[in-house]
């Protein structure tokens, strides 16, 4: 059994139309969302043997803000392949993990993270949280999958169960979408 946690980068800033997508920082709501998620992850008592993250500015700032709230720093393995990666690319990256860690936290982007959940978790009712992901996997969402594998090289479609899903708005309604009457 392996544990894979997925953490989508927090809300980014779109105010500079000239900025490259890769260079977009977090906006204020994103900073608050990343800190809220960091505090939440700390409250769960979860720990991770490895953290692999996209080096895009918004992902790096998500790691930084969440780590502040979590109260620890991580040795992060930055991997550019995560940036806007497809599920297939993320699976390939997982299969390459060396050292056989029991748990990995991946920080990245949609639609890749969402699609990875759809590929790893069967659509058979065994993971009711999968239906929530089908509705939306918003920025700064944290998900935990248990994978029925012995080695990371064994990652394959339908090998997992989605056992935890937390969105920023679950912690603070002001971190969710703006609702219009």
- Binding-site residues, please? 58
Q: Helices 28-44 and 57-70 meet at what angle, rounded to 10?
A: 50
Which residues line the annotated binding site for substrate? Answer: 58
Q: CA-based Rg of the chain, rounded to a whole angstrom?
A: 15
Where b means 16+ CB within 10 Å and e means fewer, 67-99 reads bebbeeebebebbeebbbbebeebbebbeebee
User: Distance between CA atoms of 129 and 164, rounded to whole angstroms?
Assistant: 7
Bridge partners, residue 166, by sequence: 142
């Amino acid at each position: 059994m392996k544990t894979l946690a997925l953490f989508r980068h927090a809300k980014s800033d779109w105010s500079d139309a000239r900025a490259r997508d890769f260079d977009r920082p977090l906006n204020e709501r994103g900073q608050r969302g990343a800190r809220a998620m960091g505090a939440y992850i700390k409250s769960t008592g979860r720990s991770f043997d490895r953290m692999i993250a996209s080096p895009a500015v918004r992902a790096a700032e998500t790691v930084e803000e969440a780590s502040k709230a979590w109260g620890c720093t991580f040795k992060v393995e930055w991997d550019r392949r995560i940036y806007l990666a497809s599920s297939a690319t993320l699976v390939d990256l997982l299969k390459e993990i060396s050292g056989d860690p029991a748990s990995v936290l991946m920080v990245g982007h949609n639609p890749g993270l969402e699609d990875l959940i759809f590929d790893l978790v069967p659509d058979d009712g065994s993971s009711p949280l999968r239906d929530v992901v089908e509705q939306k996997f918003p920025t700064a969402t944290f998900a935990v999958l248990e994978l029925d594998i012995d080695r990371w090289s064994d990652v394959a479609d339908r090998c997992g169960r989605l056992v935890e899903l937390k969105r920023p708005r679950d912690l603070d309604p002001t971190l969710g979408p703006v609702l219009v009457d």
